[in-house]
């Protein structure tokens, strides 16, 4: 059995990759979009999602691996996992799953930030929340319920005062509370993207090419079959290029930049310029 961990900042195409990988025979995944409570079990008191390798204690590793074992199937030797918060703690994930294959996807941070802004203030989705709640360890149910209720109350208060930011959505970098007080929503999304990208690239550096594969979102959506064939060769999954790609489109490339406008784009580019530059999105 092989674990395939998709690594990426929010709104960078992680769902797209997971769906493409799991629509062919031989691969399965969790019946849930994100399993952050499973990864956080045993370290729930840590304020951020930035777990260190030292936090992957024997009992923590054993618990997470047992949960993976529950979704394995004999006819599906590959278990595909996608939890965006993992991009902040790949050293921890590697300690838990040292033999996994890692697929790192990166996207233009300005487009990703604009897309994340829509999710940040999206209406409450009961069905989505209930699906995720199934994967909260039973010993952690009460603390998560309290945090969820408090977050809902904060969100209502923020909306009633016209505040654009209601709590925090997605991966929580260290010091995220102070970021909320210091930045508007578009900057929060850009900083979140930067922290996720920088951390994942740092923690995956040095791994052999046989264990980590890099996908560029813009290249992938423009020619998905070619890139799926390359990914299939990396993973050893035959026929991946025949995966259903009807919903993969390049229409979102540059959409966020156009929506935000030149002034906001210039401001955000200045904020996260080093990371954009390393990835080739700014000169």
CATH for 120: 3.40.50.300
Element (H, E) at 7: strand 2-7
Radius of gyration, CA atoms only, the chain: 19
Cα separation, 152 vs 138, in Å, equals 21
Domain containing 140: what range? Answer: 2-279
Q: Is 265 helix (H, G, I), strand (E, B) or coil?
A: helix
Give the pLDDT confidence score for residue 238 in this predicted structure. 82
Tell me which long-range contacts 236-245 makes (C-beta under 8 A, separation of at least 24). Answer: 237/21, 237/24, 237/26, 237/27, 237/78, 239/24, 239/25, 240/20, 240/21, 240/24, 242/24, 243/20, 243/21, 243/23, 243/24, 244/20, 244/23, 245/20
Terminal-residue alpha carbon distance, the chain: 42
Region class of 73: left (phi > 0), else alpha (psi between -120 and 50), else beta = beta
Cα separation, 260 vs 264, in Å, equals 6
What does each C-alpha distance from 250 to 8, 45, 221, 223, 257 come to in angstroms? 18, 40, 5, 9, 14
Cα separation, 282 vs 98, in Å, equals 34
**Domains identified in the chain, total number:** 1
Q: What is the pLDDT of residues 11-67, one digit of tens each?
A: 999 999 999 999 888 889 988 889 999 999 999 999 999 999 999 999 999 999 999
Give the pLDDT confidence score for residue 24 in this predicted structure. 83
Give the pLDDT confidence score for residue 266 in this predicted structure. 98
Give the pLDDT confidence score for residue 158 in this predicted structure. 47
CB neighbour list of residue 212: distance below 8 Å, 6 or more residues apart: 101, 102, 103, 104, 204
| pTM of this structure | 0.89
pLDDT at 135 over 90: no
pLDDT at 9 over 70: yes
Element (H, E) at 196: helix 185-204
**Burial of 131: CB neighbours in 10 Å, binned 0-12, 13-18, 19+:** middle
Cα separation, 8 vs 200, in Å, equals 8
Give the pLDDT confidence score for residue 161 in this predicted structure. 42
């Amino acid at each position: 059995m092989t674990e395939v961990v998709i690594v990426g900042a929010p709104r960078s195409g992680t769902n797209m990759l997971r769906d493409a990988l799991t629509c062919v025979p031989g691969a399965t995944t969790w019946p849930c979009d994100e399993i952050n409570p499973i990864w956080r079990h045993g370290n729930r008191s840590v304020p951020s999602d930035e777990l260190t390798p030292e936090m992957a204690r024997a009992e923590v590793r054993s618990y997470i691996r047992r949960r993976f074992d529950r979704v394995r199937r004999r006819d599906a030797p590959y278990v595909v996992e996608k939890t965006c918060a993992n991009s902040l703690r790949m050293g921890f994930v590697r300690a838990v799953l040292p033999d996994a294959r890692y697929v790192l996807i990166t996207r233009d941070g300005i487009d990703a930030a604009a897309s994340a802004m829509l999710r940040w203030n999206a209406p409450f989705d009961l069905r989505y929340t209930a699906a995720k709640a199934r994967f909260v360890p039973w010993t952690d149910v009460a603390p998560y319920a309290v945090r969820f209720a408090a977050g809902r109350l904060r969100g209502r208060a923020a909306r009633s005062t016209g505040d654009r930011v209601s709590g925090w959505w997605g991966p929580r970098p260290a010091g995220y509370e102070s970021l909320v007080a210091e930045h508007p929503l578009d900057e929060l999304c850009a900083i979140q993207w930067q922290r996720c990208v920088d951390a994942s690239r740092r923690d995956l550096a040095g791994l052999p090419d046989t264990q980590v594969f890099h996908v560029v979102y813009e290249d992938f959506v423009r020619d998905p079959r070619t890139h799926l064939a390359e990914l299939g060769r990396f993973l050893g999954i035959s026929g991946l290029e025949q995966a259903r790609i009807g919903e993969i489109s390049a229409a979102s490339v540059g959409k966020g930049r156009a929506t935000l406008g030149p002034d906001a784009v210039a401001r955000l580019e200045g904020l996260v310029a080093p990371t954009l530059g390393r990835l080739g999105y700014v000169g």
